[in-house]
């Protein structure tokens, strides 16, 4: 059993939202999701320009691909920045929380109450060097900042989650 107590800050929330975008919104391989729309646009541009005999049809198709892909990625970055700023002002996120875990599940306790879940109730988990996210089936997630864990504690919680059979959504990183 392990326990950590923490208060989320804006950097934690930004890392959580970016990780959520990467794993939840782009859960079907993020590179494929970012590329599908731009590839379709590039194909349409090429088809239309090549059909008219335009000599730079390939160039315009490639340029349209990169322009669409860049704007897609930029919109996700802007969304993460805005969402993290809003979340950092929300008292639902920025209060002291105590996270406790064992082989059966976890609990999160705060001044707002306590939530207890078994590991098999999670939809998935994801982590990077800054944050561990426990994804709930309803689209919400519990962010756990890496900074609040000892190395041994972080290794324990991630291995416990994985050993419980929770889907690892960080596989696309």
Read off the pLDDT band of 2 (50, 70, 90). very high
The domain total for the chain is 2
Q: 63-114 pLDDT, tens per residue?
A: 888 888 888 878 877 877 777 777 667 766 678 999 999 999 999 999 888 9
Same domain, 114 and 150: yes
Q: Which domain holds residue 105?
A: 2-12+93-172
Q: 148-163 pLDDT, tens per residue?
A: 999 999 999 999 999 9
Q: 13-66 pLDDT, tens per residue?
A: 878 877 777 666 555 555 666 677 787 788 888 778 877 777 888 888 888 888
Same domain, 100 and 163: yes
Q: Is residue 22 part of a domain?
A: no
- Of the two residues 111 and 121, the one the predictor is more confident about is 121
Q: Is residue 125 part of a domain?
A: yes
Q: What is the pLDDT of residue 173?
A: 40
Q: What is the pLDDT of residue 122?
A: 93
Q: What is the pLDDT of residue 63?
A: 84
Q: Is residue 21 part of a domain?
A: no
Q: What is the pLDDT of residue 103?
A: 95
Q: What is the pTM of this model?
A: 0.67
Q: Is residue 23 part of a domain?
A: no
Q: What is the pLDDT of residue 94?
A: 72
Q: What are phi and psi of 82, to 5 degrees?
A: -65, -45
98-130 burial, b at 16+ Cβ within 10 Å, e below that, comes to ebbbeeebbebbeeeeeeeeebeebbbbbbeeb
The average pLDDT across 114-126 equals 92
Q: What is the pLDDT of residue 149?
A: 96
Q: What is the pLDDT of residue 91?
A: 66
Q: Are 76 and 19 in contact (CB under 8 A)?
A: no
Q: Which of 63, 88, 113 is the last residue of a domain?
A: 88
Q: Are 37 and 116 in contact (CB under 8 A)?
A: no
Q: Is residue 97 part of a domain?
A: yes
Q: What is the pLDDT of residue 172?
A: 47
pLDDT at residue 171 greater than cutoff 60:
no
Sheet containing strand 131-135, edge to edge, reads 124-127, 131-135, 141-145
- Return the structure tokens found at 13: 């929330």
């Amino acid at each position: 059993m392990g326990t950590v107590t923490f208060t989320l800050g804006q950097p934690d929330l930004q890392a959580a939202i970016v990780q959520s975008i990467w794993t939840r919104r782009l859960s079907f391989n993020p590179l494929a999701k970012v590329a599908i729309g731009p590839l379709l646009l590039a194909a349409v541009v090429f088809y239309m320009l090549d059909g008219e005999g335009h000599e730079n049809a390939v160039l315009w198709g490639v340029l349209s691909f990169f322009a669409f892909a860049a704007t897609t990625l930029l919109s996700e970055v802007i969304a993460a920045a805005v969402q993290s700023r809003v979340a950092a002002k929300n008292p639902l996120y920025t209060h002291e929380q105590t996270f406790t875990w064992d082989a059966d599940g976890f609990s999160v306790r705060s001044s707002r109450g306590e939530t207890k879940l078994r590991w098999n109730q999670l939809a998935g988990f994801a982590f990077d060097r800054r944050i561990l996210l426990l994804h709930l089936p309803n689209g919400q997630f519990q962010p756990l900042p890496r900074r609040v864990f000892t190395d041994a504690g972080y290794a324990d919680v991630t291995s416990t989650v994985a050993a419980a059979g929770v889907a690892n959504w960080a596989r696309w990183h």
